[in-house]
Structure 1
Amino acid sequence: MASRSAIINVMARAAEKAARGLIRDFGEVEHLQVSRKGPADFVSTADTKAEQILRAELQKARPDFGFLLEEGGGFTGKDAGTRWIVDPLDGTTNFLHGLPFWSISIALEKEGEIVAGIVYEPVRDEMFWAEKGAGAWNNHQRLRVSGRRKLDESVIATGLPFKGRGNHADYLPQLQAVMAETAGVRRFGSAALDLAYVAAGRFDGYWESHVQPWDVAAGLLMVTEAGGFASEIGGGRNPYAGESVLAANSHLHLLLGKVLRDASAKSKPKAEG
Structure 2
Amino acid sequence: MREVDLDRALRFATELAAWASETIRRPRDPRDAVREKDGPADIVTATDEAVERHVREVLAAAFPEHGIVGEEYGTTEGRPDAPHWVVDPVDGTTNYAHGLGWCSFSLGLAAPDGTPLLGVVADPWRGETFSAVRGRGAFLNGRPTRAAGHTTLTGHVFLTEWAAHAHWPGMDALLAELAERHCTVRVMGSTALSLVQVAAGRATAAAIGSFHHVDGLPALLIAREAGATALPELPEYGDPLLLAAPDAAAEATEIWRAKLPGR
> Is TM > 0.5 for Structure 1 vs Structure 2?
yes
SS in 1 for 2:120: strand
Q: Which is helix-richer, 1 or 2? A: 1
User: What corresponds to 1:271 in structure 2?
Assistant: none
User: What corresponds to 1:269 in structure 2?
Assistant: none
SS in 2 for 1:151: coil
In the alignment, which of 28, 35, 40 is matched to residue 34 of structure 2?
40
User: What corresponds to 2:12 in structure 1?
Assistant: 10
Moved over 4 A (4+): none
Gaps of 5+ in 1: 266-273
SS in 2 for 1:5: helix
Moved more, 74-83 or 105-114: 74-83
Task: State the one-letter code of the partner of 2:95.
Answer: N
Deviations 1:200-231 (A, max 9, x none): 10111101102311121001111111111111
* CA–CA separation in structure 2 for the residues paired with 1:119 and 1:261: 28
User: Does the 8 Å CA contact 2:66/2:84 hold for their aligned counterparts?
Assistant: yes
Question: For the aligned residues, what is the CA RMSD?
Answer: 2.2
Asked whether 1:239 is paired with 2:240, we answer no
Task: State the one-letter code of the partner of 1:69.
Answer: G
User: What corresponds to 1:221 in structure 2?
Assistant: 221
Asked whether 1:150 is paired with 2:147, we answer no
Percent identical among aligned pairs is: 29
User: What corresponds to 1:72 in structure 2?
Assistant: 73
**Aligned counterparts, 1:172-211, within 5 A:** 172-211=172-211
Give the TM-score taking structure 2 as reference length.
0.87
User: What corresponds to 1:108 in structure 2?
Assistant: 109
User: What corresponds to 2:248 in structure 1?
Assistant: 252
TM-superposed CA distance for 1:79, in Å, is: 5.3
User: Does the 8 Å CA contact 1:157/1:205 hold for their aligned counterparts?
Assistant: yes
User: Does the 8 Å CA contact 2:91/2:191 hold for their aligned counterparts?
Assistant: yes
User: What corresponds to 2:259 in structure 1?
Assistant: 263
User: What corresponds to 2:99 in structure 1?
Assistant: 98
Gaps of 5+ in 2: 1-5, 36-42
User: What corresponds to 1:126 in structure 2?
Assistant: 128
* CA–CA separation in structure 2 for the residues paired with 1:217 and 1:223: 10
User: Does the 8 Å CA contact 1:118/1:127 hold for their aligned counterparts?
Assistant: yes
Deviations 1:67-103 (A, max 9, x none): 1111111132135431001111101111011011111
TM-superposed CA distance for 1:18, in Å, is: 2.8
In the alignment, which of 2, 18, 21 is matched to residue 19 of structure 1?
21
Give the TM-score taking structure 1 as reference length.
0.84
Task: State the one-letter code of the partner of 1:92.
Answer: T
SS in 2 for 1:206: strand
